[in-house]
């Protein structure tokens, strides 16, 4: 059984993240979404909230589990018996960062490999940071996240959920 670890901050989970985890779930026996508990970023959501938002987003994928982790990703992968780390790539800068990280991880744990998914074209510009900024300023992010995540994001900013113009949306 091949278990893949999909690590990230996921503050919040976006449709781009769901695209990557859905595609990974089709290739691996089990995908463990690993929500980083102590990043050096300013977060909108607590670790528990991020775990719950992602978990609710992947309930339709029976081979995906969501948990939190701390420390090095490769150490976590070793602890859970995974030899694969999954990452999503949106741009050249993502590639450069992941390229460097992959070599460092290989130095630390040579048996753990990296598998990268190129994001689907419709999500190339979606980042959690940009999404939060748009929502905070009252813009519409409802086509970039699952409905329960949009509600949670707008709630954090004390705003009502932006009225949806496009009722039919594609969810990965």
Q: How far apart are CA 53 and CA 117, in angstroms?
A: 22
Is the Cβ–Cβ distance between 32 and 80 less than 8 Å?
A: yes
Q: Confirm whether 90 is a catalytic residue.
A: yes
Q: Confirm whether 17 is a catalytic residue.
A: yes
Token pair for residue 168? 């039919």
Token pair for residue 131? 């999404």
Set 57, 82, 120, 128: catalytic member: 128
* Alpha helix positions (H), the chain: 15-27, 47-57, 73-79, 92-108, 128-136, 147-156
Phi, psi of 56 (to 5 degrees): -65, -30
Is the Cβ–Cβ distance between 7 and 36 less than 8 Å?
A: yes
Set 38, 41, 155, 169: catalytic member: 41
Set 56, 75, 83, 90: catalytic member: 90
Which residues are annotated as catalytic? 17, 41, 90, 128
């Amino acid at each position: 059984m091949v278990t893949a670890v999909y690590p990230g901050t996921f503050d919040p989970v976006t449709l781009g993240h769901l695209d990557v985890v859905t595609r990974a779930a089709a290739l691996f026996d089990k995908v463990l979404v690993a929500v980083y508990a102590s990043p050096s970023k300013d977060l909108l959501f607590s670790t528990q909230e991020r775990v719950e938002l992602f978990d609710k987003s992947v309930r339709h994928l029976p081979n995906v589990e969501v948990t939190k982790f701390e420390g090095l990703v490769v150490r976590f992968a070793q602890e859970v018996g995974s030899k694969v780390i999954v990452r999503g790539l949106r741009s050249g800068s993502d590639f450069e960062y992941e390229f460097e990280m992959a070599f460092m991880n290989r130095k630390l744990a040579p048996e753990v490999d990296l598998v990268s998914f190129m994001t689907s074209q419709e999500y190339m510009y979606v980042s959690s940071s940009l999404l939060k900024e748009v929502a905070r300023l009252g813009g519409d992010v409802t086509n970039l996240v699952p409905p329960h995540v949009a509600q949670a994001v707008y709630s954090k900013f004390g705003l009502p959920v932006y009225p949806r113009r496009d009722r039919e949306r594609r969810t990965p």
